[in-house]
Amino acid sequence: MTITAETREQVQQRANFACEYCGVTETDAGGELTIDHFRPTIKGGEDGLENLLYCCPRCNQYKLDYWATHPDDPPLWDPRREPAAHHFLELDNGTLHPLTAVGAFTLKRLRLNRSPLVAYRQRKRQQAEEIRLLSRYREMVQLLERLNVQLSVLMQEQRQLLEEQRALLRMLLSARE
């Protein structure tokens, strides 16, 4: 059986156009990614949507047709059934730290700490930090604008007070004469 264009599109959209193992998007990769059979066809996997994953060529190349067949074989992380945070912790330097045996095996098998991926995660972190700073900056500008409005109101009030004071003084002086 082959995967129809329609199925392919469904897998692509469901994955948000990103590799379900490493997170690299089509935009990042500069092209379409591949369709992976989580359970390889030669190991009994089917072409149904539940066995298909959107996968970058590099992750696919490292995964190959791995499938735990013996009880001693470590299973591979299934991104469609368990969130990444369950098995990996992303460190500040962009590397992944395994939290489980499945995470440790998948990390090694798919080389999820390969240097371009670490650099990719670092860049994403940096972008998130820049966005955070920019929104903070916008907040400060808005605050400054509000302060300016308040200041001009205060200045106007002060001017009015001064005028009233002057008028009062004039009245007092004229009363003395």
Interface residue list for Zn ion (CB under 5 A): 19, 21-22, 56, 59
Q: Cβ of residue 57: shortest distance to Zn ion, in angstroms?
A: 8
Closest to Zn ion by CB, 65 vs 145, is 65
Closest to Zn ion by CB, 112 vs 138, is 112
Distance of CA 21 to the CA centre of its chain: 15
| CB 128, CB 134: distance < 8 Å | no
145: left (phi over 0), alpha (psi -120 to 50) or beta: alpha
Closest to Zn ion by CB, 54 vs 133, is 54
- Tokens 């500069």 appear where? 30
CA distance 93 to 90: 8
Report how far apart the first and last C-alpha atoms of the chain are (Å, whole number).
112
Closest to Zn ion by CB, 107 vs 159, is 107
Closest to Zn ion by CB, 48 vs 116, is 116
Distance of CA 16 to the CA centre of its chain: 12
* Token duo for residue 77: 């992380």
Q: Cβ of residue 19: shortest distance to Zn ion, in angstroms?
A: 3
Q: Cβ of residue 108: shortest distance to Zn ion, in angstroms?
A: 15
Q: Cβ of residue 14: shortest distance to Zn ion, in angstroms?
A: 16
Query: DSSP E strands: which ranges in 43-109?
Result: 52-55, 88-90, 96-98
Q: Cβ of residue 90: shortest distance to Zn ion, in angstroms?
A: 15
